[in-house]
Amino acid sequence: MNIFNNKIAIVTGAASGIGQSLAEELCSRGTHVVLTDWKEKQVCSVSDAIPATCGSAAPVCLDVTDFEAYKKVVDDTVEKHGRIDYLFNNAGIAVGGEARDVSIDDWRNVLNVNLNGVVHGVAAAYPVMVKQGFGHILNTASIEGLVAFPGNASYVASKHAVVGLSNALRVEGKDLGVKVSAVCPGHIKTAIFNDSKMVNIERKKVLEYVAKVPGITPAQCAKEILKGVEKNKALIVVTALAKILYALQRISPSLIMKIMLHDIKHLRDARISN
């Protein structure tokens, strides 16, 4: 059974990577998707390229750090379609670098997009879904929301917060008919590594290291996420390595700490100045 057919979904950060693939995959399954991103031109061209064979695609320019704008997108969607079935809070950014080097503005930017962006989506759509008595919110965290990697503490903080928020909301929403899941991908081959700001670390060395980590395409990731949605999983962990790391974190946090202390050597090798 195709549970996505004729459903209404909003996807944030849909101009590239995982968000783009989610929008494409949903549309191919008959969902009417509102694609949002702060990159207006890109989100329009992604939306235009989606074939109108099954569902439909409509682009909207949205910066998730703007709550009023986010609420308007949710309200407009409900006004047009009468309901909202899925909200994919997917937009995210990262700033690479050790905590001793990144500025307070870097911390604020990451927390603002990755955490406040999700909070804004929840504050705008969750009450609507409670009123409807149905709906599913998918908050994209990361394996870094379950395991603390060194080298981007602001990202780790934001993604751990998204997992906690999602777990709490899942309990609150259960008897009200609203489902909530946290999506925790491992390495997905997207533009995020090229586009991210990096502070006092050589991008080339970081990219070389990332390239060695087994990863999957955003299209494969989108399919895995939708499998998790079908099963209404609380945590949708994507990639084999991410599943292993999460299992290790639960079995032996001290072993994970040892792995991370080894991992930090790559970060130190990539430092520009000490």
Among the listed residues 70, 155, 209, 246, the single catalytic one is 155
Is residue 55 within the footprint of ligand NAD (CB under 6 A)? Answer: no
Q: Name the H helices within the chain.
A: 17-28, 40-49, 67-81, 104-110, 117-132, 153-174, 192-195, 203-212, 218-230, 240-251, 253-269
Q: How far is the CB of 109 from ligand NAD (least distance, A)?
A: 9
Q: ∠ CA 20-31-8 to the nearest 5 degrees?
A: 100
How many whole angstroms separate alpha carbon 187 and alpha carbon 128? 33
How many whole angstroms separate alpha carbon 110 and alpha carbon 60? 22
Q: How far is the CB of 175 from ligand NAD (least distance, A)?
A: 29
Closest to ligand NAD by CB, 195 vs 202, is: 195
Largest Cα span, the chain: 57
Which amino acid, residue 236? I
Closest to ligand NAD by CB, 1 vs 14, is: 14
Closest to ligand NAD by CB, 13 vs 55, is: 13
> Which range in 75-83, 126-134, 185-193, 227-235 contacts ligand NAD by CB under 6 A?
185-193
Is residue 137 within the footprint of ligand NAD (CB under 6 A)? Answer: no
Query: 9, 16, 26, 267: which one contacts ligand NAD (CB under 6 A)?
Result: 16
> Which range in 23-31, 33-41, 127-135, 166-174 contacts ligand NAD by CB under 6 A?
33-41
Size (the chain), residues: 274
Query: 31, 90, 166, 181: which one contacts ligand NAD (CB under 6 A)?
Result: 90
> Which range in 47-55, 174-182, 186-194, 254-262 contacts ligand NAD by CB under 6 A?
186-194
User: Which of 125, 140, 51 minimizes the C-alpha distance to 90?
Assistant: 140
- Contact, 91 vs 138, CB < 8 A? no
User: Which of 58, 103, 53 minimizes the C-alpha distance to 77?
Assistant: 58
Closest to ligand NAD by CB, 15 vs 119, is: 15
Q: Would residue 155 show up in a list of annotated catalytic residues for this protein? A: yes
How many whole angstroms separate alpha carbon 266 and alpha carbon 268? 5
Residues found near ligand NAD in the complex (CB under 6 A): 12-13, 15-19, 37-39, 62-65, 90-93, 113, 117, 140, 142, 185, 187-188, 190-192, 195, 218
Which residues are catalytic, by number? 155
